[in-house]
Each structure stands twice: as structure tokens, then as C-alpha cells.
Amino acid sequence: MARRPGSPVVILSILLVLTLAGWFGYDYLRTRLAASSCDTVTTLRITAAPDIAPALTTVSQQDTSACYRVEAVAAPSGQAMETLAVHKPDVWVPESSLWLQRAQQRGAWNLPVTGTSVASSPIVVGLTETAARKYGWPSKTPTWAEIFKGDPAIGFVDPAVDPVGLAALVGTGELTKNAPDPAGAYALTLRKLTKHTVQEPAAIFDPALEGAVTSEASLKAHNLVGAYADPAIPSLDYPYVVLPGTSDSQRAIAQQFLGKVLEKTDVLTAAGFRPPNGTPGPGQPPVTPVNLPEDPDKLLNEWAAANRSARIQVLLDVSGSMAAAVPKARADRMTLTLRAAELGIKLFKPITKVGLWRFSTKLDGDKDYQELLPVRPVSEQLANGGLEKLRSVRAISNGGTGLYDSVLAAYQSARQNWEPGRINLVVLLTDGRDDDDGRGISQQKLLAELNKLQDPKRPLQIIAIGIGPDVDTAELRTFSHATGGEAYPTPDPTKIVDTFYAALGRLLEQ
């Protein structure tokens, strides 16, 4: 016979179940609170850099005896810096102490500029396995010097918005300080980095690129091979900072959790981080600790200069002598010059404007010069067959070198079309000296006209690159110096790429 819902047996059974549930629940809470010696469980709010936030959450979950819980919110440090006053967390853990300095400069005068480092991670160039193999990996580890000797497609976060980029600027400065022209070599390396610069850290991991400048901790997640700076550069130091305005009780909890984070080094190591002192883990090379630069603004100003766009009028010698063979290169002077020009164009920012004139003698009626490519942004030149036109240029058999007339005409055109906010240049590529047989202007006339066209408020330099042993370096320097520019002789035409890079680097440094 079924028992009625209201029968004494059913009622007693329900009461027994409720009593047991209540007892076990009370016993659990009593055990939890007793173990943590606290009456309530409070929340510690932490805003942390996205890469370390999960590790902080893991540490908090392992601390089962605590009378607090941790709410670690991942937020890009630049964004967090702007919103600290609004969201008001108890603790901030950015990637670098540089963020603390910047926050104070932005008006957070009561924010500490140092904190307790809870982890560290060196800055590396992370290469795809395919790219790393080009430098001998896995038999040898690629170096920054090898990578930046060429023109690598490396993702890079704008150093004005991310400390990873700023640390890399320190590395490129160290990389080039022993070059024959350190300032020029440094500026050129910066220009290479500007080509694939992004504003959001996550955007550097573009599968179309060869790699990215990033932290060591991110290598595993993106399956990259790390190349380390030599000499060492500043690492990310992940400072743990209790923010002003935090109550005394919350501050005490924050210090308690900091102790747990420093104790649970295995959690951070498993996530790819090093201890604060930089001790390497398995498979990690030793890295010398390096402080942040005392004057980061100087580096950022140099970066801004390298990012400037330009307006460049290229004047290319196509006289007969440019067909002279260069046996060890198995090419002629023209071919080597065009290769250098193409590499240079690819280094320019897409918004830089470039135009091309060729010159010899009587190319356009009585004129010694002729426009091949009008001045247009590099992006347009690349999209509309500009490189193909450049590659098709050939030396003119028996053509002379109408140098002075062509230089003056190109300079007059560049002066007339001078653009503010850009580096305005005339770049001359020639292998000879003026031999217009008296039909053109003299050197004195050229210098007089160039002097008339000078305007200190609107600088316009001539950069002359001499190719081969027949150039008159003194002649090139005479008229390039008259404009504030420079001449770069290249007796060995096989070295023209190096000379072109040195000239470009010097321009950007200026």
C-alpha cells in the first residue's frame, strides 16, 4: 500500500534528509573557515597583463585554505593604465615597470613606479620553424645580427604602446653600435621594423610573417623558435603593485596573495615564465639582467623619426658605361644598381612617395632626362607595375652622362613639389662624371642655381651614390653638400646594396 505524502513516515524521512544535508554543509563551512581562521571570504581584485593573468588564477585556485578568493581580470596594460581610476582594482600586474612610469607621467602621481617582480621573461625574436631553418636551426640558434642583416618580415608592436617594442629598440641599438656608421645602421634597422609594426600585441602573430618580436613566455603557445639578443636587453619584469586607495584589510590580503605567488614558482614556470631573478628553466639559455633605459623618450623619438614618410625623386644614370660588366657578380653595373634600388623601395613605408627619372644625353629631344615613373606612393607603384618598369631599364649604348643638367632639373622639380611633413630628397645613382661635351651647364652654374633654391625651412637634400671606380667623388660631394646632402662612393659595384642601405640609414637618422 502506498504511503500518503502527509504520513508521519514520509515527513520524518524528509526531515532526516534536510538535517543531514544541513549538518554536512555546516561541517564543510566550519572546516573551511576554521582552516583559514576567518569568518568571511573576501574578493581580491587584480588587473593583470593577459599573458600572466591565467597563471595568477591558477595560484589562487591552489590556495584552498585562504579566506579570500582572487578575481584576476586580463587586460592589455595600455588599456588598463587608462582605466585604473574607473575600475579601481586592488592590484595591478602589468608586463613591465615601464607601465608604472608611464602611468605616473600621465597624472597618476601617487602610483608607485616600482613593484615586487613576480616573474620575468626575456624579449626574443620568435621565428617560425621554416624561417629559423634559413639561419641553420636546429644545428645552431639564430642570432639577431643574422636576422636583421637582411630584410626580415617580423611582426613588431609599436614601442610607443608596448614595452616589448621598447626593449627591442635597445637591442637594435646594441646590435648596430659597432657598425661603421652606427646611427645610420640603427635607423635602417628601425625602418625594417616599421614595415610590419602593429598597435595590438596579438596582431604580431600573423601566419604570413616569418616571426615576431615577443616575450620568451609566448614562444611555446605560438610554436616559435627563440633568437636571443646579444648583448642582453631589458626583460619583462611583471611588477605586483597594490594600488593607492586600497583599504588596509584588502592591502593585507594582497600581501598574503603575493607571498603565495612567489612561493608557487612551479605554476609560473609551467606557464613559460622565469623567476624574478631570471634563472633559466629547462631549454632556456641564461640571460643577463638589464635595467630599463633611463630615458625611454629618446628611443621613442628616434623611432618616430624612422617612421616618417618621404618624397623621393630618384635620378638614375642610364649612360653606356652602366652596361660595364662586373665579373665577380656575373652582372653589369645597371643590374646591380636596379637590385639595390628595388630593395630600397621595398624598405620604404607604403605612404612614402617615389618617382624615377632616367638620364644620359638627349633622351627627350635636347633634354638629357626623362620621367619613367611619376612620383606616387610606394603602395601605388607596387600595385601598378612600378617594379616591373624599374627592372626593364637598360643602359643606352654610347649614351653620354648629362649629369649637371639632369641634377638641376630633378632638383627644381623636387623643390617645386616639396611636401611638408615628409623627408624630401633627390637620390642620384651614377657611375660616371659629367661629359656633356659643353652642351649643358657647367658645375659653377649648377652650384649657383642650387644655392638659389635653398630654403632652411623646407630642406631638400641631394644624396649621390657613385657606382664603380670611374666616379668623381669630389664632384658628387660638391653639389650634394651644397644642399646639405652627402655622396657615397662605391668603387666595388657588388657592394652597392650595402652603400644604399648606409645612405638610407643616414637619411632616416637625420
pLDDT tens digits for 430-478?
988 888 766 889 999 999 999 999 999 899 999 999 998 888 899 999 9
CA atoms within 13 A on the CB side of 415: 18
pLDDT tens digits for 4-58?
444 444 444 444 433 443 443 334 334 434 444 567 888 999 999 999 999 999 9
pLDDT of residue 500: 74
pLDDT of residue 16: 41
pLDDT of residue 116: 97
CA atoms within 13 A on the CB side of 456: 0
Distance from first CA to last CA of the chain, Å, rounded? 101
pLDDT of residue 373: 95
pLDDT of residue 508: 61
Rg (CA), the chain: 32
Cα(315)–Cα(357) distance, rounded to whole angstroms?
5
Please confirm whether the linkage preceding 142 is cis (ω < 30° from 0): no
Residue 167 contacts residue 234 (beta carbons within 8 Å): yes
User: Which amino acid would we find at residue 27?
Assistant: D
pLDDT of residue 509: 61
| Degrees to nearest 5, angle at CA 391 with 390 and 392 | 90
Given the DSSP bridges, would you call strands 353-364 and 331-332 parallel, antiparallel or unpaired? unpaired
pLDDT of residue 51: 94
Looking at the whole model, is its pTM more than 0.75?
A: no
Cα(436)–Cα(368) distance, rounded to whole angstroms?
9
pLDDT of residue 33: 42
Q: Which residues of the chain have pLDDT under 50?
A: 1-36
User: Which amino acid would we find at residue 493?
Assistant: P
User: DSSP state, 273?
Assistant: P
Cα(343)–Cα(346) distance, rounded to whole angstroms?
5
